[in-house]
Chains A and B, each alone.
Chain A
């Protein structure tokens, strides 16, 4: 099993004759995992209390976990004796808890005694004697006068201010009062009439309050010292952290092996495992299998109506776009891989939605730097490459619309740079948004028509030629003729051909209407359904309109950039001296914010256009992803995942 896990090519499926119980009751894996987790939590706690920060390097920002091979993980489990380590940790942890509880107790007691700490009365005296009742009172400043006046009426009462704690709005007065026991009730009457409280202190008889207070403080200090010493003892476990993490993941892999083994058929002397393996990996796999396990046998069976798991495979230049497809999900095994068709459209949409050549250049630069400097996993590298291409597309689109960090090119002083940049500019989005809207619609129409072509290819591949002809090609031709006719009847293009185009359009609409309902047996239904299928034109229209969002997003980026520049110039010119420094910060902050928000929006909306307008035309999705039995990771990474 370990060897299979290391190979990481077999996507294991449940064998039909597997007769295993859902889990092995004798397995101790879960308990072992819990033990190691406990050790890790303890290490973290020590880390936090002693404020030890792990050394992090910038280079590993995207790959923060330590790496290890499977063999190393197994080795760690045997080397690190979890039981003894955990026993020691438990001892320390319990002791720490006990000390903390004691300290809390002491702190409460100390707070309670705090106002009375200077009194030199013993506990015995506090309890009073036969004749004298002794009381400690706490009351607020406002009642001070009232209480004291009331007490002057009591003949045997003697009192003294112990402490006055006065803050701005309130104050508390701590009083010690002695009175003959016959007049206790008078004092009590005063107490009930006001908000004064009698304070009870439990002081040992032989000690004065002051001494008791001091002794409590000393005890607290000792406990804090012991606590710290224990933490230092725990420090040595922090050094073991990496090993403990390895042990955890090693156990996790063991658990995975146990779980997968349950999917196979376990015979007394053999084990049968069923699964899927990609064609291109088959030869190598069988070769290696023969070497390692010469007694193993492989059998391939082909069953009808199987649903193999799906993995995407594309050329190196198309690979980054798999990041887009993966967000949607895998296509079914029988469907096409949408990654190559979506590539160019995604880039154009992204570029149009983030029209600023300056931002595009920054994106390209950043992505190039990230790829050079940081250690990346393969999946992350795909995304970085995708963003690099997207930056390039943005630069092109930005140059075409004259957006360079939101600077209006016309306002620049004359120079060769200006004329070069202006030379690229074809459309001005702010003063002429309608033109750009038409461009966005055009992109939409092209992509939607292309979707039908992709579907035609798919039908041809499946040898469904009638579908290809009447569902895809017919609609494709119909829309094109429709657009040509609309254009020519408005006098924009091909004016001479208006009549022939009209005839062509009507005939092809008739073809579509007649063949749209061909799946129905009833001829009336055929015609009816066929005519209804023309409703598809409405959804085509609504899909096209959806592309108008590209104009909106592009405009938004451009206008925000313009405003950032305006604010920076205003600040720069109005505040003397420091003005320009602040303006630089405003520029940096504003443009970075603009780039961030609008790049995110452009990515999401370009993606959304693919998923909602493009994909559903030729695929349904919902394919089972290819997840080979291999590495899992919680605290440790697989070195093979990295570029």
Chain B
């Protein structure tokens, strides 16, 4: 049983950590571009702040996936469920969709957001369009999250 729990934890960790890294790198790229714009014109801060925050969603999705996994093995309620090694592996694999889509979509959404910051720099009134462009990349992270949630819930472990 302890190995099963360990594998389930690995699943949760992989989801949270990889998606989080995607967000970290994405937000960093966007924030660097934003800093350049704000250096020239501090009044644009609100608009670039929004764009910088957009790639942060993947970290949140990874966090959610980890919570869902932790909840399914009874970690949050305080009563650990019996998890066999096979079930542990199932959870690890179920966590992969959000892990990878979160990592890569966060990374690339950051680049799109940085490019959208350019829109704000040259034409602040069109910043909304930049936001939409950036959000399209996120759709796939959402789908990854959905797959993970469905798979983990479908496994139906204990809680």
Q: Does B76 contact A (CB under 8 A)?
A: yes
Q: Across the interface, which residues of B come within 8 angstroms of A620, CB to CB? A: 128-129
Distance from A124 Cβ to chain B, minimum over Cβ atoms (Å): 60
- What is the total of A-B residue contacts with beta carbons within 8 Å? 90
Interface stretch among B83-91, B99-107, B140-148? Answer: B140-148
A601, A605, A622, A624: which contacts B128 (Cβ < 8 A)? A622
In the A-B complex, the 9 residue pairs with the smallest Cβ-Cβ separation, listed nearest first, are A621-B128, A612-B135, A604-B53, A552-B60, A542-B142, A549-B60, A327-B46, A545-B142, A329-B128
Q: Across the interface, which residues of B come within 8 angstroms of A135, CB to CB? A: none
Q: How far apart sit A551 and B61, CA to CA, in the bound complex (Å)?
A: 10
Q: Does B24 contact A (CB under 8 A)?
A: no
Q: Does B77 contact A (CB under 8 A)?
A: yes
Q: Across the interface, which residues of B come within 8 angstroms of A624, CB to CB? A: 125
Q: Does A2 contact B (CB under 8 A)?
A: no
- Whether B61 contacts A556 by the Cβ 8 Å rule is no
Q: Does A433 contact B (CB under 8 A)?
A: yes
Q: Does A330 contact B (CB under 8 A)?
A: yes
B67, B127, B128, B139: which contacts A542 (Cβ < 8 A)? B139
Q: How many residues of B contact A (CB 8 A)?
A: 32
Q: Across the interface, which residues of A come within 8 angstroms of B135, CB to CB? A: 612
A430, A431, A555, A604: which contacts B50 (Cβ < 8 A)? A604
Q: Does B131 contact A (CB under 8 A)?
A: yes
Return the chain A residue nearest B124 by Cβ: A329
- Whether B50 contacts A548 by the Cβ 8 Å rule is no
Q: Across the interface, which residues of A come within 8 angstroms of B61, CB to CB? A: 548-549, 552
Distance from A479 Cβ to chain B, minimum over Cβ atoms (Å): 17
Q: How far apart sit A326 and B145, CA to CA, in the bound complex (Å)?
A: 31
- Whether A625 contacts B77 by the Cβ 8 Å rule is no
Return the chain B residue nearest A542 by Cβ: B142
Given A548-B60, A604-B49, output 15 extra A-B contacts at Cβ < 8 Å: A326-B46, A329-B125, A431-B76, A433-B68, A434-B71, A437-B64, A542-B143, A549-B60, A552-B64, A605-B60, A608-B50, A611-B131, A612-B54, A615-B128, A620-B129
Q: Across the interface, which residues of A come within 8 angstroms of B67, CB to CB? A: 433, 552, 555
B49, B78, B125, B146: which contacts A622 (Cβ < 8 A)? B125
Q: Does A328 contact B (CB under 8 A)?
A: yes
- Whether A328 contacts B71 by the Cβ 8 Å rule is no
Q: How far apart sit A549 and B19, CA to CA, in the bound complex (Å)?
A: 14
- Whether B71 contacts A327 by the Cβ 8 Å rule is no
Q: Does B126 contact A (CB under 8 A)?
A: yes
In the assembled complex, 9 residue pairs joining A and B whose CB atoms fall closer than 8 Å, in A order, are A330-B125, A431-B78, A539-B139, A541-B146, A542-B142, A546-B57, A605-B53, A620-B128, A622-B128
Q: Does A126 contact B (CB under 8 A)?
A: no
- Whether A612 contacts B76 by the Cβ 8 Å rule is no
Distance from B116 Cβ to chain A, minimum over Cβ atoms (Å): 12
Q: Across the interface, which residues of B come within 8 angstroms of A611, CB to CB? A: 50, 128, 131
- Whether A608 contacts B128 by the Cβ 8 Å rule is no
Q: Does A516 contact B (CB under 8 A)?
A: no
Q: How far apart sit A72 and B128, CA to CA, in the bound complex (Å)?
A: 40
B125, B127, B142: which contacts A623 (Cβ < 8 A)? B125
Distance from A526 Cβ to chain B, minimum over Cβ atoms (Å): 27
- A590-631 with Cβ < 8 A to chain B: 601, 604-605, 607-608, 611-612, 615-616, 620-625
Q: Across the interface, which residues of B come within 8 angstroms of A433, CB to CB? A: 67-68, 71, 76
Q: Across the interface, which residues of A come within 8 angstroms of B142, CB to CB? A: 542, 545-546
Q: Does B155 contact A (CB under 8 A)?
A: no
- A476-535 with Cβ < 8 A to chain B: none
Distance from A623 Cβ to chain B, minimum over Cβ atoms (Å): 7
Q: Does A553 contact B (CB under 8 A)?
A: yes
- Whether A545 contacts B126 by the Cβ 8 Å rule is no
Q: How far apart sit A555 and B125, CA to CA, in the bound complex (Å)?
A: 35
Return the chain A residue nearest B136 by Cβ: A612
Q: How far apart sit A604 and B77, CA to CA, in the bound complex (Å)?
A: 30
